[in-house]
Amino acid sequence: MTDTITARTTEAPHCVFDAKEFASGAHPVWCPGCGDFGVLAALERGLAKHGRPPHEVVLVSGIGCSSRLPGYMSTYGFHGVHGRALAAATGLKLTRPDLEVIVVGGDGDGYSIGGNHFIHACRRNVDMLYVVMDNRVYGMTKGQPSPTTEADWDSDIAPGGIGLRPFNPLAVAIASGANYVARGFSGDPNGLADLILDGIRWPGFAFIEVLSPCVTFRPEQSGWKKLVRPSAISVESDRAAATALVLADDGFSLGVLYRGDRAAVAPPQAPSIAVADIEREFTLA
């Protein structure tokens, strides 16, 4: 991350932590080799660098393999129902702007059942980070095509492939108003940790799409490590240009794609009246 970027962050770190302090110690249910391990490591490292203590951080998630992540961190967590993590996080952050709110989940949770909350979270621009572990499959339910699955990926439920052009989360995020859009790779936890730190500190709604292979149902995704390249996407503050970039990209360029300058939703105002003042409205005098 360049100096310019750091200079625009909203908060400076107030103390320094070790990544290990962000681990809960619980043993992940993930299959050995699952990409989500890399994302967990990146979150621990990114948060350690960020410097806020675990109790000031809340990880919010829905349902899926990836959504199990909050239990593996030493922070507060909210493991809600499938697809609604962004909504819960919105209520939380709007009432507790003092907390660091990070939403995590999968492509099914976020782009399928959670799609409406995704586009509206982008639009609402509440100051939080959303990390999607995209493995282009519903892992938890044992391998069905998700919105980001390739059209021709064969599965029991869609023999021969689902036949639909995959959902483009980055294009949709930009069109919907996200203020920060990046792509990371679970196989590069340090690079991802930097993106996470950057996204946390960027004002408004920051979205990081992470390529996070499902070794069990999409073993061919182990080839992703050869496809990713860290630079082709450049930071663009222009939505049209950023869209053009992302539409032209093959989906394997990593880095920050877009950073906007929308102000995040403001915290609630300080109380200016008491309930008793309101009651007067009903009197008849």
Residues that bind Mg ion (CB under 5 A): 106-108, 135, 139
123 binds its own copies (CB under 8 A): yes
Residues near ligand TPP (CB under 6 A) are 63-66, 82, 105-109, 133, 135, 137-141, 146
Backbone phi and psi for residue 178, each to the nearest 5 degrees, phi listed first: -60, 145
What is the per-residue DSSP string for 152-191?
Answer: T---SSSTT---SPPP-HHHHHHHHT-SEEEEEETT-HHH
How far apart CA 76 and CA 175 sit, in angstroms, is 32
Q: Which stretch binds its own copies (CB under 8 A): 62-70, 93-101, 214-222, 237-245?
A: 237-245
Task: Considering the complex, state which of residue 67 and residue 74 has its C-beta at the smaller distance from Mg ion.
Answer: 67
Burial state string for 73-102 with b = 16 or more CB within 10 A and e = fewer than 16: bbbbbbbbebbbbbbbbbebbbeebebbbb
Task: Considering the complex, state which of residue 61 and residue 243 has its C-beta at the smaller distance from another protein.
Answer: 61
How far apart CA 180 and CA 5 sit, in angstroms, is 12
In the complex, the smallest distance separating the C-beta of residue 146 from ligand SF4, rounded to whole angstroms, is 11
- What crossing angle do the helices spanning 189-201 and 36-50 adopt, rounded to 10°? 50
Task: Considering the complex, state which of residue 190 and residue 234 has its C-beta at the smaller distance from its own copies.
Answer: 234
In the complex, the smallest distance separating the C-beta of residue 144 from another protein, rounded to whole angstroms, is 5
Site map 146..185 versus its own copies, x via CB under 8 A: -x---------------xxx-xx--xx-xxxx--------
> Which residues make up the interface to its own copies (CB under 8 A)?
112-116, 119-120, 123-125, 147, 163-165, 167-168, 171-172, 174-177, 239-241, 243-244, 247-248, 262, 265-266
